[in-house]
Amino acid sequence: MNNAKTNTKPLILNPKSGICGICGLLLFVSCFRLDSFLFDPSKVTDYLNPADMDSSWHVRFIIPDSLVEPVTLTALDGNHIYGFFVRQPAEGDCPRMRTFPGSPTDYTEGVRSQSAESAESAKSADNPPENQVTVIYNHGNGQNINRYWGRVELLWEVGFKVFIYDYEGFGKSEGTPSGDACYADAQSALDYVLARPDVDDTLVVYYGWSLGSFMACHLAAEVRHPSCLILENPMASTSALAKEGAVLEIPGSFVADADFDNEARIPFVGCRTLIIYGKNDDTAVPKRNAEVLLSEARGWIPITGYPVENANHADLPEVMTYPEYERVVSAFIAGDSL
């Protein structure tokens, strides 16, 4: 299925500039390539080593090792890519522990998955138990899985199963990152998750943060519609990113080889979609990214925008506070009002 629209935004040129202006523009574009900006991976020999974790990543190491399954997949080009499938504890096992920065260590009040009220709600037909939901987490452009493990913890402690993977060239994954490789890696991740006997294929959610929004939208629009889609501080397209560093309307293909165009794909994702974004995001400026996607999606899919005051590109859960972030995400997935 490929209903994606082609980005045909024209170059805006001053008619008086003549051939010199055109040549100058082409020279500028040839020098200004986004590919190196789009991918900023780091390599590791082992994942989840506390010594490799930066404090700004807010990793708490709250998931028992027994619930973390290392996964090795073979990409379409033969390279190995690495990930982790995080399971939920079996019924009767010890409950998930909450430790929110800035909150009492034994904080449990109001936590949806820990309350008796939510347990009763989870038994209803309209609200399936959270531990039946599986989230495929498509991470951002930097570092590797370690950088995003704190986000995995947040989704896990709500009650979701989570699969996170590294794109080619990231972490232990072999190869070199590219748009085509990232899309192929995302499809390999989806195929793996759907093949698991403990995954309900009607309750698979795609989550994309930043660069990962391209992979999440690609999967939803062109591979398989998910139960729902969540995009955090998404990018509209490589054209929109070029606008962050230039005053020209430049088609994405002029500045990057990657076919990254959420603006064209989002009308065709075929599911409820939440776009959650920081109003102070200076990497993917909302008026050229999140707000553009909201506008493009309206009339095509059920779309919800959730702007967060004072949040930038990488601190959204911290600015919201973890309990509020978890409430919003779990409520949306359950189909409840935010």
Average pLDDT on 217-226 reads 98
Residue whose C-alpha is closest to residue 176's, from 256, 261, 260, 75: 75
Locate all alpha helices (DSSP H) within 45-136, ordered by sequence: 116-122
Identify the band that residue 76 occupies on the pLDDT scale cut at 50, 70 and 90. Answer: confident
Dist. CA 152–CA 86, nearest whole Å: 8
- At 172 the pLDDT is 98
Average pLDDT on 11-36 reads 44
* HSE of 107, CA atoms in CB hemisphere, 13 A: 15
- For the entire predicted model, the pTM comes to 0.80
Q: Are 333 and 133 in contact (CB under 8 A)?
A: yes
Write the DSSP symbol of residue 54.
-
Q: How far is CA 210 from CA 2, 14, 76, 82, 289, in A?
A: 22, 33, 24, 20, 10
In the predicted structure, residue 24 carries a pLDDT above the cut 70: no
Among 5-14, 39-48, 206-215, the minimum mean pLDDT is found in 5-14
Average pLDDT on 236-259 reads 58
- At 259 the pLDDT is 79
Q: Are 309 and 279 in contact (CB under 8 A)?
A: yes
In the predicted structure, residue 177 carries a pLDDT above the cut 70: yes
Among 28-37, 205-214, 232-241, the minimum mean pLDDT is found in 28-37
Residues 6+ away with beta carbon under 8 Å from 140: 147, 148, 209, 210, 211, 212
In the predicted structure, residue 121 carries a pLDDT above the cut 70: no
Dist. CA 94–CA 162, nearest whole Å: 19
Structural tokens at position 218: 């690609």
Average pLDDT on 94-107 reads 41
In the predicted structure, residue 31 carries a pLDDT above the cut 80: no
- At 53 the pLDDT is 96
In the predicted structure, residue 69 carries a pLDDT above the cut 80: yes
Average pLDDT on 115-139 reads 60
Structural tokens at position 276: 């959650």
- At 129 the pLDDT is 55
Dist. CA 8–CA 188, nearest whole Å: 30
Identify the band that residue 115 occupies on the pLDDT scale cut at 50, 70 and 90. Answer: very low
Average pLDDT on 14-39 reads 49
Percent of the chain whose predicted confidence (pLDDT) is above 90: 68
What does the buried/exposed string (b/e) look like for 270-306 if buried means 16 or more CB atoms within 10 Å of the residue's CB? bebbbbbbbeebebbbbebbbbbbbebbeeebebbbb
Locate all alpha helices (DSSP H) within 75-139, ordered by sequence: 116-122
Domains, the chain, ordered by start:
15-334 (3.40.50.1820)
Q: What is the pLDDT of residues 291-335, one digit of tens each?
A: 999 999 999 999 999 999 999 999 999 999 999 999 999 999 999
Average pLDDT on 238-266 reads 65
In the predicted structure, residue 29 carries a pLDDT above the cut 50: no
Average pLDDT on 143-171 reads 97
Stretch (H or E) spanning 73? strand 68-74
